[in-house]
Structure 1
Amino acid sequence: MGDYAGVLRRGEAVADATYVPVTAATTFWGRLPCEADAPILTVEPGTRVVLDTLSHEGLLPDQGSDPERFFASHGVPSDEVLEEAREIAASAARDPERDGPHVVTGPIAVNGARPGDLLAVTIEDLTPRVPYGVISNRHGRGALPGEMPVGTGNVSVFTPIAADAQGTWRGWIPGREGGRAVAGFPLAPFLGIMGVATATSERVHSVPPGPHGGNIDVKELTVGSTVYLPVQVAGALFYAGDPHFAQGDGEVALTALEASLRATVTLEPGR
């Protein structure tokens, strides 16, 4: 994991890397790419790709659909709110009645990838783009509905990150929303969504995982790991999103520590 060293804005600190930013043209919100979608980039096998990802937390209707106002209410200055968060939240790219919450970046085609292949995605680096995230509980879901959180409404707990006395980066969480931080936990960033396009003419919902990968939420897929995705369509059409700074043994509150990451991955098809 790359330690947080300041806000990673779109296009900054990427040098000559093969880079994919978050824009309206490079993302899907609530749906996943399908075979009818054109790639935003085509790369050769073994290419290392740097791609930005954007958390959906702070963008959703129950948070006001205004990330600048939402994060300002938690003391975040305007220049620490990603510009693409404002852009995506203001777009009409998602139907809240039909679509999932997740923002995904892609798709990226890999030359030579064919149905029947496995696309090996190796996680080379995951670096926080902002010094905060959000843990949410909604719709009476989670491990203890009706008990935690107290009450029946939606709860989004703002969770900053900071280094402890030993220099280890941690998330810091209050005992209840609005309270002071009372507990810290180590960061272990991973991408909740990694997948390939489905062999369908319409985009599938972002929540259910499947043979295409998608919303797999496997917390072990941290830096140094490789996930193998069964290619469904020519070129594979890889995408990633739902970035997390940390997750426990499942999303027991309904979410992990949801927060934006810059990811570096290597894409290699094979049989």
Structure 2
Amino acid sequence: MLQPKEGRIDGAHYLPTTPDTCLWGRLPDRDRPPVLRIASGGTVTIDTLSHEGILEDQGRDPVAYLAGFGVPADRVLADARDLAASGVPHDYDADGPHVVTGPIEVIGAEPGDVLRVETLSLLVRAPYGFISSRHGYGALPGEFPETEPDGGPAAGGGERAYNSVCEFTEVVEEAGRLHGTLPYGGGRAARFPLAPFLGLMGVAPDASGPAHSVPPGAFGGNLDINELQVGSSLYLPVQVPGASFYAGDPHYAQGDGEVALTALEAPLRATLRLTVIPREEAAPLLGALGGPFAETATHWLPVGLHEDLDEAMRRAVRAAVGFLATVQGMPRHTALAYLSAAADFEISQVVDQVKGVHCLIRKADFR
């Protein structure tokens, strides 16, 4: 367990998730004051908190809820207990589920600049998580979960029957690597390797009023790109002075598509480096993309976002063509041919209202 302030902290700054440093189900807007200020190039360790185990359909009491899966009270994160018991506003039906920590002001960031977010380390904070399916959501709404429908708020303030299906998933170590284990009867279990990443990283949009945390956009947000693991960089067009960066929605593992509704949701201690790329240096990339862009040690990742999956795909292709044309100097018709022969287009997720497609372009192909 990595309780707040305990254990390894890699960043020069430390930001816990408390009722004073987070929003629940909403994103910071241009008017929300920062909870931390750092210089460009500075590093920060954020104790991100998962929404699973604290939501209303789970009783908003993580100690009681996790006890049902054999987790003792001393194995429940203190920040999860504190947030669930706090007065931080959260409406199950109107807000997103995510606990969003921030915003962080990056000194000197201005609209037109780009914020580079490097993921330096991700530490598992608890040896368990949940994969959940809720009524009206996911890739197969109306088909899953295969329980009675959510009846909505009960008349007269009675107990609501949400009928969500939340699969408890234990983390185990095998052959020196952490795995999730998902039992399914008869002593059997599916075991899969963990690949942690933050599903939600963004900058504040230039708007008044906190935005819903679920749909991603040009500001980033709930991108759910499973390539954003340790060693990756995410590039976000700055929308407001100071950037107002935030993070949340930690995952231990996620398949492309995230079809149930959630991935393996569980808390992470994330250390990030936040660097401002001035407008004059960022202009070629911004001109080609106009939205989030990512890279790993081996690949560049142009991104397409839209409510319609076909249009998200088209936007990802246009972004990839634009990147190769603008940054690599490749003729556009040749770029399209290259992408068709050599690049992979993966569905980031189909469950966040705005769907995502990201392209994987091998750096080794452009020596």
TM-score w.r.t. the length of structure 1 is 0.92
Question: Measured at CA, do residues 140 and 34 of structure 1 come closer, stay the same or move farther in structure 2, by a change above 3 Å?
Answer: closer
Question: Measured at CA, do residues 141 and 100 of structure 1 come closer, stay the same or move farther in structure 2, by a change above 3 Å?
Answer: closer
- 2:165 paired with 1:155: yes
- 2:91 paired with 1:95: yes
- 2:54 paired with 1:86: no
Q: State whether residues 11 and 272 of structure 2, in contact with CA within 8 Å, keep that contact through their aligned partners in structure 1.
A: no
In structure 2, the residue matched to 1:48 is 43
In structure 2, the residue matched to 1:234 is 241
Distance across 1 between alignment mates of 2:10 and 2:208: 37
SS in 1 for 2:80: helix
Q: Which has the larger radius of gyration?
A: 2
In structure 1, the residue matched to 2:258 is 251
Distance across 2 between alignment mates of 1:132 and 1:116: 41
Structure 2 unaligned spans of 5+: 149-162, 283-367
SS in 2 for 1:124: strand
Distance across 2 between alignment mates of 1:15 and 1:224: 14
Distance across 1 between alignment mates of 2:147 and 2:62: 24
In structure 2, the residue matched to 1:105 is 101
SS in 1 for 2:32: coil
Distance across 2 between alignment mates of 1:15 and 1:241: 18
* Structure 2 counterparts to residues 7-156 of structure 1, below 5 A: 7-13=1-7, 14=9, 17-93=12-88, 94-145=90-141, 148-152=144-148, 153-156=163-166
Distance across 1 between alignment mates of 2:136 and 2:20: 34
1:173 counterpart letter in structure 2: L
Residue 97 of structure 1, CA deviation: 3.0
Distance across 2 between alignment mates of 1:199 and 1:143: 31
Q: How many residues align?
A: 262
Query: Which residue of 169, 176, 201 maps to 1:167?
Result: 176
SS in 1 for 2:135: coil
Distance across 1 between alignment mates of 2:233 and 2:11: 24
SS in 1 for 2:65: helix
SS in 2 for 1:175: strand
Residue 17 of structure 1, CA deviation: 3.1
In structure 1, the residue matched to 2:189 is 182
Question: Measured at CA, do residues 144 and 15 of structure 1 come closer, stay the same or move farther in structure 2, by a change above 3 Å?
Answer: closer
**Higher helix residue share:** 2
SS in 1 for 2:115: strand
SS in 2 for 1:255: coil
Question: Measured at CA, do residues 181 and 39 of structure 1 come closer, stay the same or move farther in structure 2, by a change above 3 Å?
Answer: farther
Q: State whether residues 31 and 206 of structure 1, in contact with CA within 8 Å, keep that contact through their aligned partners in structure 2.
A: yes
Instruction: Indicate the structure whose relative CO is greater, using CA pairs within 8 Å and at least 6 residues apart.
Output: 1
Moved more, 8-17 or 227-236: 8-17
Residue 148 of structure 1, CA deviation: 5.0
1:8 counterpart letter in structure 2: L
What CA RMSD, in Å, does the superposition of the two structures yield over aligned residues?
1.6
Distance across 1 between alignment mates of 2:18 and 2:139: 35
Question: Measured at CA, do residues 212 and 8 of structure 1 come closer, stay the same or move farther in structure 2, by a change above 3 Å?
Answer: same
2:68 counterpart letter in structure 1: S
2:2 counterpart letter in structure 1: L
Distance across 1 between alignment mates of 2:57 and 2:143: 20
Percent identity over the alignment is: 56
Distance across 1 between alignment mates of 2:214 and 2:11: 34
SS in 1 for 2:79: helix
